[in-house]
Structure 1
Amino acid sequence: MAEISPLEQRIGHQFRDPALLTQALTHSSRLQDEPEAIDNQRLEFLGDSVLGVFLAEALYQAYPDEREGHLARAKSILAKGDFLAQLARELDLPPLLRMSEAERSMDGHLRDAALEDAFEALIGAVYLDSDFPTTRTCLQGLYGDLPTRLEKRLAHDNPKGRLQEWTQAQGQEQPIYTIVNETGPGHAREFTAEVAVAGEVQGSGQGASKKEAEEVAARSAIKQLGI
């Protein structure tokens, strides 16, 4: 049997058909340089569905008392593109993506969309190379403890709420957000926000809207305060 690659070790699965792994890592732009290559779009389609089944089953078991609405929201959060891109980075997929030289020169291998597609394609490839129980085991290893992942993701999606909860727990007044700068033309404004906790500025951030800038500032404050 061929030696298991570092990526296969991180996934927790050694491919019987290495061509599936190669295909999963092949971006559609690769066909510009290698016309005979097979891109990962079909595997991505399959992997998206397999991932959906895994998350639905895992959340159903992890939250026996929650209703459909909560489970559906949790599933959506854990299957969002930017979160799947994060998992792809944890697997160190960016340098392994097979794409055209032109696409790579524009940092295409670092883009969330390409990483999300590759992650889903990888799941599809594992499923085709084995079976659902094996794929489930791999995904359990990649996601880790699902409630913990979900809690962290919820905090990431709602940094202002998390910061406010912390200040309340400390007996402090709620954070105060201030837009300190606006730049750019009307159709492409950029806002800079600062957030003060207990009278001291603890974070700042920029965004295309006031809300986005405040959320970035809240994340900055969370990091600064070690919450």
Structure 2
Amino acid sequence: MPLKRPTGEALAKEIAARTGYVFKDLRLLETALTHSSAVKAASNNERLEFLGDRVLGLVVADMLLKQFPDAREGEIAPRFNALVDARTCSMIGTEMELGKYMRADSALTSGARRAGGNYLADAVEALIAAIYVDGGIDSARAFVLRYWEPLSLRAVDKPVNPKGELQEWIAKSSDGRPVYVIESREGPDHQPVFTVSVQVNGYSPMTGSGSSRRAAEEAAAAAFLLREGVWTAEKVPV
């Protein structure tokens, strides 16, 4: 039997151990850790996630400019993109064990479907926003630096961008561009699965699936690049 999810002061204490921040408004903390799929929840973390994404970007950009005062924008951008990527946020959410504090549909938190992994990334961004709202930018910065600063010196690789690379590859031989078409959308609203095809003149289309239209488009583009030999299997994102 799984352990009962802590609430109230007990939740605040455990989250404080992971963030270094003690919440004054416990309702705000609860909202940050409530996914839109949670049954009977009065509110969810979607708005906080929106804000947290912006706070994270500001803090990480400021951190990198101070770390690399002589670097050009083109040198800093790949580090920034890697650090604010959903996969990095999801990894940090896993490190913090946020999954056991979330209010969400059991199918989402069970990890039964790969598409559900992004809920942890969303929760991390919502938590950043909640700390910002509850304690101000300095508190949010302290939390971000706690987890992102150790990663910043390692985040040197340009994030994989299949759609961008496909567009560049096509541009070398023609003035065409890939066209993405939604073939289907399945599953419940809180856990959809999109299937998208990418169509390029002179080539057979390729399809890909993902938990959002963007993810499905990227999967289709990656499959196209792999089929045409532009990418090797090692390049395809896991």
Q: State yes or no: 1:7 paired with 2:49.
A: no
Query: Could you say which residue in structure 1 is the equivalent of 2:94?
Result: 89
Query: Could you say which residue in structure 1 is the equivalent of 2:131?
Result: 126
Query: Could you say which residue in structure 2 is the equivalent of 1:24?
Result: 32
In the alignment of these two chains, the number of paired residues is 170
Q: Distance in 2 between matches of 1:84 and 1:136?
A: 15
Query: Could you say which residue in structure 1 is the equivalent of 2:234?
Result: 214
Deviation per residue, 1:9-37 (Å, 9 max, x gap): 1111010011111111111011xx21x42
The alpha-carbon deviation at position 96 of structure 1 amounts to 1.8
The alpha-carbon deviation at position 105 of structure 1 amounts to 5.2
Unaligned stretches of 5+ residues in structure 1: 158-185, 190-206, 220-227
Q: Distance in 1 between matches of 2:54 and 2:207?
A: 37
From the superposition, tell whether residues 212 and 11 of structure 1 become closer, same or farther in structure 2 (CA, over 3 Å). farther
The alpha-carbon deviation at position 187 of structure 1 amounts to 5.1
Q: Distance in 1 between matches of 2:21 and 2:134?
A: 9
The alpha-carbon deviation at position 110 of structure 1 amounts to 8.0
The alpha-carbon deviation at position 213 of structure 1 amounts to 1.8
The alpha-carbon deviation at position 145 of structure 1 amounts to 2.9
Q: Distance in 2 between matches of 1:141 and 1:81?
A: 18
Q: State yes or no: 1:57 paired with 2:77.
A: no
Q: Distance in 2 between matches of 1:94 and 1:43?
A: 17
Deviation per residue, 1:203-226 (Å, 9 max, x gap): xxxx9536352347xx9xxxxxxx
Q: Distance in 1 between matches of 2:28 and 2:63?
A: 26
Query: Could you say which residue in structure 2 is the equivalent of 1:111?
Result: 116
The alpha-carbon deviation at position 109 of structure 1 amounts to 9.5
From the superposition, tell whether residues 82 and 106 of structure 1 become closer, same or farther in structure 2 (CA, over 3 Å). closer
Higher Rg: 1
From the superposition, tell whether residues 144 and 73 of structure 1 become closer, same or farther in structure 2 (CA, over 3 Å). closer
Deviation per residue, 1:25-52 (Å, 9 max, x gap): 111011xx21x42110000011011101
Residue 141 of structure 1 aligns with an amino acid whose one-letter code is R
Q: Distance in 1 between matches of 2:91 and 2:109?
A: 19
3-state SS in 1 of match to 2:23: coil
Match of 2:47 among 42, 49, 53: 42
Deviation per residue, 1:179-220 (Å, 9 max, x gap): xxxxxxx9579xxxxxxxxxxxxxxxxx9536352347xx9x
User: Are the aligned partners of 1:94 and 1:115 in contact in 2 as well (CA < 8 Å)?
Assistant: yes
- RMSD of Structure 2 on Structure 1 (CA): 3.3
Deviation per residue, 1:156-197 (Å, 9 max, x gap): 96xxxxxxxxxxxxxxxxxxxxxxxxxxxx9579xxxxxxxx
User: Are the aligned partners of 2:83 and 2:148 in contact in 1 as well (CA < 8 Å)?
Assistant: no
User: Are the aligned partners of 1:59 and 1:146 in contact in 2 as well (CA < 8 Å)?
Assistant: no
From the superposition, tell whether residues 48 and 18 of structure 1 become closer, same or farther in structure 2 (CA, over 3 Å). same
Larger helix percent: 1
- Paired residues for 1:123-162 under 5 Å: 123-151=128-156, 154=157
Unaligned stretches of 5+ residues in structure 2: 1-8, 161-204, 209-221
3-state SS in 2 of match to 1:144: helix
Match of 2:71 among 59, 66, 81: 66
